[in-house]
């Protein structure tokens, strides 16, 4: 019942949904909106990570996707400028079970809702994320419309139609939207107590990193492994890259359909591979690009891999590492040509998670080995790349 100072309308407005998530099949979820107001349309996925929501929202690999967080405590550590993996959030929106509580962390500088609002990203809380996750697992990643209106006025039929009209990620080149506009130098290393991000002032190797949507912490890991990093746009040609006379080439993570990005990236990678002794290391989209360049195929997954708890087996060592993943496409292991070895495999579903070229310093993995967020089990891959760079210098 209303108190003496409340009207019935006040009570109704307080409980009225202010956000709506509409799926293309007509399923509609109502909840409480926070962050920016408005409407966004994208593919819906889920992420199982328990930490790192800010890094996830700013990961360029999430372009064109709304992220459902299966972990309920999202927003409780706030946000801070140091944890951004790109200049602004790239994920289209956020779905959580509980509305963010007041932030409690010594590094917090801005509440999650305010951070999202300032960057134009919509979020919805109060949803049954378990049901939503089951829907995604069983039916595949649906197309969805996310709307936030403080007055709670929604044209549900129109929202469903917008979701139906979304073209999806297949055939979509999103790397061109998130890559850098021009080349730049990177020398910041991984965060370390108590001073934050140190500078690499004594690099041993010269590396060109191709930016298909590179996370900042991936570049930091290269610098921490002793690399002097020059970042170049996804559209760079082999000739432009080799003009820098690099000791090795790195192919970064990124969003979208690898086959679409491959229209211009695959010829570049083939040109790089013509340099027989040049070390190459790819991750995520870079892994898929490398696979396409050597003649393999990629496929769209049912719901992809998104989280920081994915077990991957290294066939070369027999070790199992827990990894951070974010991809909706995968390399078809059945299409790998002769001379290409499957080095890593997912223990969740057996999908390909790594390849290497026999007898050459060229390898790639599907997961993100830089642990932002996630475990640090796979950092050895940067060290392996650095060792290949050193071996090449020794002839």
The pLDDT assigned to 213 comes to 98
Instruction: Name the residue with tokens 């956020």.
Output: 94
pTM: 0.94
**CA dihedral of 334, 364, 138, 19, whole degrees rounded to 10:** -150
Q: pLDDT for 216-253, tens place per residue? A: 999 999 999 999 999 999 999 999 999 999 999 999 99
pLDDT in tens, 265-311: 999 999 999 999 999 999 999 999 999 999 999 999 999 999 999 99
**C-beta separation of 18 from 149 below 8 A:** yes
Res 42: pLDDT? 98
Decide which of 3.30.1450.10, 3.40.50.300, 3.30.559.10, 3.40.50.880 is the CATH code for 175-393: 3.40.50.880
Write out the two tokens for 239.
């000739």
Domain extents in the chain: 15-165, 175-393
What's CA 236's distance to the chain center, in Å?
22
Whole-number pLDDT of residue 395: 80
What whole-number distance in Å separates Cα of residue 70 and Cα of residue 74?
9
How many whole angstroms separate alpha carbon 93 and alpha carbon 124? 8
Beta-carbon-side half-sphere exposure of residue 197 (alpha carbons within 13 Å): 15
Q: How far is CA 352 from CA 146, 317, 327, in A?
A: 32, 16, 12
Summarize the confidence of residues 100-118 as an average pLDDT.
96
Q: What is the CATH number of domain 15-165?
A: 3.50.30.20
Mean pLDDT, all residues of the chain: 95
Residues with a known catalytic role: 284, 368, 370
Q: Is 56 within 8 Å of 49 (Cβ atoms)?
A: yes
| Alpha helical stretches, state H, the chain | 8-15, 53-57, 112-118, 129-139, 156-165, 175-178, 216-224, 238-242, 258-273, 285-293, 380-393
């Amino acid at each position: 019942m209303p108190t003496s100072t409340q009207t019935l309308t006040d009570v109704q407005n307080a409980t009225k949904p202010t956000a709506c998530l509409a799926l293309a099949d007509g399923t509609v979820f109502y909840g409480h909106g926070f962050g920016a107001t408005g409407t966004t349309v994208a593919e819906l996925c889920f992420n199982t990570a328990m930490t790192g929501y800010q890094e996830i929202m700013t990961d360029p690999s999430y372009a064109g996707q709304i992220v459902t967080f299966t972990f309920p405590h999202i927003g409780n550590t706030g946000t801070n400028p140091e944890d951004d993996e790109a200049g602004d959030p790239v994920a289209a929106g956020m779905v959580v079970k509980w509305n963010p509580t007041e932030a409690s962390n010594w590094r917090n500088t801005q509440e999650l809702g305010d951070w999202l609002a300032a960057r134009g990203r919509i979020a919805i809380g109060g949803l049954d994320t378990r049901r939503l996750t089951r829907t995604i697992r069983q039916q595949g990643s649906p197309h969805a419309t996310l709307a936030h209106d403080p007055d709670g006025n929604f044209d549900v039929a129109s929202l469903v139609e917008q979701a139906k009209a979304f073209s999806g990620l297949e055939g979509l080149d999103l790397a061109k939207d998130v890559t850098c506009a021009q080349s730049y130098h990177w020398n910041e290393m991984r965060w370390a107590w108590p001073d934050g991000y140190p500078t690499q002032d004594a690099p041993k190797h010269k590396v060109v990193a191709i930016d298909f949507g590179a996370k900042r912490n991936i570049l930091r890991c290269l610098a921490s492994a002793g690399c002097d990093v020059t970042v170049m746009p996804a559209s760079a040609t082999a000739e432009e890259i080799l003009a820098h006379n690099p000791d090795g080439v790195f192919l970064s993570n990124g969003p979208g359909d690898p086959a679409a990005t491959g229209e211009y990236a695959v010829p570049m990678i083939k040109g790089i591979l013509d340099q027989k002794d040049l070390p190459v290391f790819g991750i995520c989209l870079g892994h898929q690009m490398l696979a396409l360049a050597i003649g393999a195929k990629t496929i769209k997954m049912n719901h992809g891999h998104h989280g920081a708890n994915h077990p991957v087996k290294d066939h070369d060592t027999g070790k199992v590492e827990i990894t951070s993943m974010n991809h909706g496409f995968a390399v078809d292991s059945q299409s790998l040509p002769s001379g290409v070895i499957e080095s890593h495999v997912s223990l969740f579903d057996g999908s390909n998670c790594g390849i290497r070229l026999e007898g050459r310093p060229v390898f790639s993995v599907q997961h993100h080995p830089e642990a932002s967020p996630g475990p640090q089990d796979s950092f050895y891959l940067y060290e392996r790349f650095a060792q290949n760079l050193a071996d090449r210098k020794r002839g």
